[in-house]
Structure 1
């Protein structure tokens, strides 16, 4: 694969690491602070950082005008609704389930996006890519096997969050050429602050000093994860990127082992091998138009 073609997948893999790390921080926070408040503070902190940086930009007034009156405002804000809705739902899921199980459930997303890439975006997916997604999905089932015995209601949060995130990725891809990664990230922060701000006074819990450090870390990790994913969607087709989303499962396993002492068994390890095989298969096949 040429180096230029590796940029999109590399950004997706990095985005998975950043997002997973951010949600691990949110999981640690969620026992003390509501998911809506965490999401609101994430958005507010990002907007505050943008305000602090803007005086040093060549044309700060023009930059803020673009934030308040962006091109294709409806679509950009619809993408923001998808990101923020996904964030709240996934935090709720992480608060109630192990990191690895939430991450595994979330990998229904690549199936959804690969299936919708044709009718929504006009992308034609090769059989190699479908095979790669299928291998990854089988690997996910192997990892998730312990959670299949009894249904956990919290799993519904993870599934709904993935549907919302899939909608974001589809809209972000359609905005290619009209909105860049910074536009999408700031619009999501603006929409998120508006969506959650009304509810926050009724849910507010005063964060401790340690909580504030974790909230800043969560906001930074999530913003960086969203920026890198948006940048990937500007450079490559949605169907081409989906198998690389499965690498996020390796990050989730790493955090579970290091922070929570959860070690995968032999079946889960075989699932990881299938996921990696699917990713390698995807790396070699182009998507046809």
Structure 2
């Protein structure tokens, strides 16, 4: 999906791509909503759904914009810092205990991000900064989801996310609007289908297994980003990028493992499928 975004961003603005990703994703998921009926939209926490969707909209716009200006591998590697930001946020906002092992994992993970960005050593990469901003916003959304799963089902969380993020991404898209041609329409439709399908597959993965089992499979995104970045865009990442990515992935996997040990499997699955 990231390669598709990067490819289309050569002709269309990233904000417009984000809107069509949500629009076509909503169309793909409509049968799911119909099957669940109107009950899927029943909620007493609309305000939290709105804030969560706003955070995810900011995260998506930042990340899509970053993909138009930074190598795929670097963007993919830095996107895995979201659980690290969530770990910090859980302590600050939710009052969770900060144990030594978590502190070490966070230091290692953010150290990996510094290896990739290398501030003061190489010129600041605006795309890399945007990915980190996106990860921080997504982390806040994850913390809100964690609180909402006490009363909201995964179906309700998904339904409101799709319904709210489509108009939210339309507003910035209108400011840079350009009508897509026939080729763009096909690519945008493919993006919506791939995005919705990957969301469903990941949700099923978290439903069937705990996070420590599923996340290593998600880490293969880095391999695909390396291959597609090289084949499609001629990108050859530096050794610093892979070194930093290794630290980030290791820290994220450790945090996921500790979290899955601490929570019942059903609760972990709910959080992952959101």
Give the alignment's TM-score, normalised by structure 1: 0.71
Q: 1:76 aligns with which of 31, 46, 49?
A: 49
SS at match of 1:31: coil
Q: 2:30 aligns with which of 51, 73, 78?
A: 51
Q: 1:160 aligns with which of 94, 108, 133?
A: 133
Q: What residue is the counterpart of 2:11 in the other structure?
A: 32
CA distance in 2, matches of 1:279, 1:31: 32
CA distance in 2, matches of 1:268, 1:112: 19
Tell me how far 1:198 sits from its aligned partner. Answer: 4.3
1:160-239 to structure 2, matched below 5 A, reads 160-198=133-171, 200-201=173-174, 203-226=176-199
Range 209-218 or range 136-145, more displaced: 136-145
Q: What residue is the counterpart of 2:94 in the other structure?
A: 121
User: What CA deviation, in whole Å up to 9, does each residue of 1:98-156 have, x standing for no partner?
Assistant: 12233344454333211121343343343223323333333333344499511234444
Q: 1:142 aligns with which of 94, 115, 119?
A: 115
CA distance in 2, matches of 1:49, 1:149: 42
Give the alignment's TM-score, normalised by structure 2: 0.75
CA distance in 2, matches of 1:148, 1:235: 44
Across the aligned residues of Structure 1 and Structure 2, the Cα RMSD in angstroms comes to 3.7
SS at match of 1:220: helix
8 Å Cα contact 2:4/2:187 also seen in 1: yes
Q: What residue is the counterpart of 1:66 in the other structure?
A: 40
CA separation of 1:154 and 1:164: change in aligned 2, threshold 3 A: same
Tell me how far 1:214 sits from its aligned partner. Answer: 2.0
Task: For structure 2, list consecutive stretches of 5 or more residues without a partner in the other structure.
Answer: 264-274
